[in-house]
Structure 1
Amino acid sequence: MIEAFIGLAGVLVGSMITISKDLWVSKLVRRREGSYSAIRLICILEEYADKCIDVVCDDGTAYGQPAGRTESGEEYNAPQIAKPYPLEYPEDIAWRSIKEPLMHRALALTNKARSTDRRIDASAEHALPPEYEELFETRQEGYAWLGLDALGLADDLRKEFKIFAKSSAELNGDWDPKAFLRGRLSQKQERRSHRK
């Protein structure tokens, strides 16, 4: 009878070892997939943030002069930088290996960009020539927020997956894109408060 208990205990211990090993291997594979996906997302988000910064810098002028001209010769401010397309993620992202809040933020950023574009289009209808100030303010402010969101998400993915590779901004020590975007947003808020 003792031999039966010893045999049963051996089977249970062996099963537990096998289950533990399988769980450990599954967790390791999931972590590797998550790390790879996070690196891919970080690169995409930083590139998107760079494009947002380009839009934030676009004030509708070329070399300090209005960029557009009507057939009758009247000058007006016109966008020089096209709005970036909303984010599109590659199919090889292992979304289930990324924690839900980060996954949601990444996927929701595309909807935020579309919403921002609709707001910009609506402001264009009410902007007055030749400066089209409302259009450029909405455009610059909207893309400043999108750029900050993208950079913040990239930072959080780095922390979550312990990715120590430096961002392109960190490689250029003189440039801090988040500080630049925050500065532009505070300028917009100051300008808005002065008008009121």
Structure 2
Amino acid sequence: METAIFGLIGVVVGAFLTIIKEWWFKAKEKEKNAEYLAILITSMLERFVVGCAEVVADDGLYHGQLNSQGERETHTVPPTFDPLSIQVEWKALPANLMNDLLSFPLEIESARTQIDGALEFVSSPPDYEEFFEERQYQYALLGLRASKLSAQLRAHVRLPSRQGGGHSPVSYMQTQLEEIDRRRAEHAKAHALAIASLETGIKMGK
């Protein structure tokens, strides 16, 4: 009887240890998959950040000069981010982080739609001022968003963070974004004052 009991205990313990062993191997495999994914995707994101900074720096001039038609034109090719172009195990990531990364291309498309709208409906030659400002603004936002996603992915797998200096692409884009926001706030204020002045003149003329 005791032999049977000890035998049963041995079977139970053996099965339990087998389950623990399988769980441990699966957890290690998931961890390795996540690390591999993070290395590849953060590299893509960080190249995207640099590309965004180049777009933000593009004011449509070449060495300070207009083109041969006397107009401003783009001199940088916008960066792309296609996370599904590489084979990685996306299920190794938490759902929220995976969703943020895989939906980022949709954010890029939305930004491009905004830029196209500024070119088609708002700006005009020769300066295309509104187009270039919107292009710089949207790519600054995208670059900062990509940098944040990269940092989140690195933190998840405990990869060292990138050390950005005072002249990093991220700090440059943040500065440019704040400058555009400041200009837009000033323009909005001036427009509101002009409208108020016009309304006051109309009332006084009645």
State TM-score, norm by structure 1.
Answer: 0.90
Name the residue aligned to 1:99: 94
Structure whose residues are more often helix by fraction:
2
Amino acid corresponding to residue 148 of structure 1 in structure 2: L
2:41·2:83 contact (CA, 8 Å) conserved in 1? Answer: no
1:180 Cα deviation from its structure 2 partner:
1.4
Give the Cα–Cα distance (whole angstroms) in 1 for the partners of residues 81 and 90 of structure 2. 18
Name the residue aligned to 2:26: 26
The aligned runs of 1:143-162 (5 Å cut-off) are: 143-162=139-158
- Secondary structure of 2:85's counterpart equals coil
Percent identical: 30
1:37·1:93 contact (CA, 8 Å) conserved in 2? Answer: yes
- Secondary structure of 1:138's counterpart equals helix
Structure whose residues are more often strand by fraction:
1
Which 4+ residue blocks in structure 1 deviate beyond 4 angstroms? none
Name the residue aligned to 2:60: 60
Give the Cα–Cα distance (whole angstroms) in 1 for the partners of residues 16 and 154 of structure 2. 34
Amino acid corresponding to residue 6 of structure 2 in structure 1: I
- Unaligned runs of 5+ residues in structure 1 are none
Amino acid corresponding to residue 61 of structure 2 in structure 1: T
1:87 Cα deviation from its structure 2 partner:
2.9
Superposed CA deviations along residues 5-40 of structure 1, whole A, max 9, x for unmatched, are 221111000000000000001100110111011000
Name the residue aligned to 1:177: 169
Name the residue aligned to 2:115: 120
Give the Cα–Cα distance (whole angstroms) in 2 for the partners of residues 114 and 56 of structure 1. 17
Give the Cα–Cα distance (whole angstroms) in 1 for the partners of residues 68 and 99 of structure 2. 43
C-alpha RMSD of the superposition: 1.5
Amino acid corresponding to residue 77 of structure 2 in structure 1: A
Counterpart of 1:195 (choices 176, 187, 197) is 187
1:86 Cα deviation from its structure 2 partner:
4.1
2:60·2:75 contact (CA, 8 Å) conserved in 1? Answer: yes
**Number of positions where the alignment pairs a residue of Structure 1 with one of Structure 2:** 187
- Secondary structure of 1:81's counterpart equals coil
1:182 Cα deviation from its structure 2 partner:
1.1
Give the Cα–Cα distance (whole angstroms) in 2 for the partners of residues 117 and 93 of structure 1. 27
Name the residue aligned to 2:137: 141
